[in-house]
Structure 1
Amino acid sequence: MNCSASCSVSMPSAPVVLTAFACGTLLSLCWVRVELRVPHPMLDPRLFRSPALSSAALGMTITFFGSFGLFYVNASLLQYWRGFSVLEAGIGIIPLTLPLLVGTRYVPGLIRRFGIPATLSAAFALTSGGLLGLSYASTMAYPVYAAGLFVIGLGIMLAAPCLTAQIASALPVERAGIAGGLQSATRELGSALGVAVVGTILTAGFTHQPAAWPTRPTPLPRTVQEALASAPADHTAVTEAFTHGANTALRTAALVVLLAGALAVVGSRRAHRSPAVAEGLTPTDSASAP
């Protein structure tokens, strides 16, 4: 994903952001209230009492949070810092895709051997470790950077099938449509949060670098590309400031993935130790069983 023209260096004012979050929270509460009252809810919030469903939804959200946070900055890091062309940046991300293309077929066997909780533990550890390693490898030789991408790809490769299976198995067959919709919703939520959080931290790190932009223009350009065009003499300072902001954002994403992933794993372990799972029943089945 190329964001060379969209990595903004100016943030919306705090009141706009806070108002948007407040409106989103209010609308979410209204949605929950309506869904609890209607006879045939689109997505019954009570379903999230199931540890299997709630932990899988959290896990899917955090997987896409980490991956789209990476997508937001990866191409720009390759182009601005390493001087890759657009084509070279596209080729440069191939190490991330290799595990997804080659290794996904082996994940069901790993799940049968080690179980979903253990596989998810490895998935989130790899994704978090890869993001953290990438933040330090951004200034190293490309093969080191490519190794970080490969590790992240391994984490996504392990997480996605596990979480998809867990969401699907947490609901009865007649609610397969709900399971599919929930997967899509959590992916979109994670993607949006990943871009928003990583983009905000990157921007803050970029604009608050003391040594950046010795001849800062006023007003500040909206993108890194504009900054380089308006202050060509500051090319090195601008790219270093951008890289610093991107690295800080990647480290934050790594921490979020690690902590939220741990919560998802705890919920998954709890679900797989429950009698309903042990007997091969879904949470809905066990609630209605005599």
Structure 2
Amino acid sequence: PLFDPRVFRSPRLRATSLGLTTGFFGLFALFFVNSQYLQEVKGYEPAVTGLAIVPLITGMAVVPKLAARWSAHPRPVIGGGLALIGLGLLGASTVDAGTPYAVYACWLLVISAGTGLSMPALTLGVVTSLPHHQAGLGSGLGTSAREIGAALGVAVTGTVLAGHTGFTAGMGPALRTVAALVLAATALVVTGLREPSRPAPTTTDARPPVREP
């Protein structure tokens, strides 16, 4: 009774919810293989691995401040950010034991920049697609979209890895699969943001109003 599914009549709400799911789908696919690649394939110690993922944090910290300048144009910001996540995953799928860390760090920066670019606009898009008194519902929908995306990212990546004889052999195909799905979903998100947005319906009393005599 707390959730009215009619809110998804809003194209903007559908698109931004899918965008959040897509972004976290790609991000958690990377999280699933990132430390394994750095420690098992590259041979880094845990402390060095922690330092090696700093580029993944940098973009998320810096880019949102730049993205705020284009807040009046959410469609290219969201589409560009999600596309960067997909392209970064494609790039990361090409690495192996002999890949220099600097190359891998560049792909981490691309993914983190895409995340920092798209996530604030997507979060704002979900919340503002609903009336003010349903802001809590919008926040809950955004959180649910992130959790679903994270779970699917781990599930798809793990499934592809399990189909290969070793981690090194499976990492590339897993990330390529996720990247293809991210880019396909990005096209759907951008298309959805193109449609005219309608205000989401609110739950109201269905009885006709009583007129004063």
| Corresponding position of 2:87 | 129
Runs of 4 or more consecutive aligned structure 1 residues displaced over 4 Å after TM superposition: none
Amino acid at match of 1:266: T
- Which of 151, 158, 175 is equivalent to 2:134? 175
| CA apart distance, 1:62 | 0.8
Query: Counterparts of 2:138 and 2:193 in 1: how far apart (Å)?
Result: 17
How many corresponding residue pairs? Answer: 201
Contact 1:64 1:194 in 2 (8 A): yes
Aligned position for 2:34: 74
- Trace 1:197-212 onto structure 2 (pairs within 5 A): 197-206=156-165
| Equivalent residue, structure 2, for 1:141 | 100
Q: Which has the larger radius of gyration?
A: 1
For 2:172, the equivalent position in structure 1 comes to 247
Is 1:195 aligned to 2:154, yes or no? yes
Q: Kindly report the root-mean-square deviation, in angstroms, between the aligned alpha carbons of the 2 structures.
A: 1.4
Show the 5 A alignment for 1:64-143: 64-112=24-72, 115-139=73-97, 140-143=99-102
What is the CA-CA distance between 1:137 and the residue it aligns to? Answer: 2.7
Tell which has more relative contact order, 1 or 2 (C-alpha 8 A, sep 6+). 2
2:192 is the alignment partner of 1:267: yes
> Shift in Å at residue 106 of structure 1?
1.8
**Structure 2 residue runs without a partner (length 5+):** 203-213
Alignment check: 8 A CA contact 2:62 2:116 kept: no
CA contact (8 A) 2:60 2:116 kept: yes
Q: CA deviation at 1:132?
A: 0.3
How high is the TM-score relative to the length of structure 2?
0.90
1:179 maps to amino acid: G
How much has 1:103 moved relative to structure 2? 2.0
Normalising to structure 1: TM-score of the pair? Answer: 0.67
2-side partners of 1:257 and 1:45: how far apart?
Answer: 25
Q: Point out where structure 1 has 5 or more consecutive residues left out of the alignment.
A: 1-40, 207-240, 277-281, 286-290
Distance in 1, Cα, partners of 2:81 & 2:114: 4
Name the CA distance, whole Å, in 2 between partners of 1:134 and 1:103.
Answer: 20
User: Do 1:132 and 1:250's aligned partners in 2 also have CA atoms closer than 8 Å?
Assistant: yes
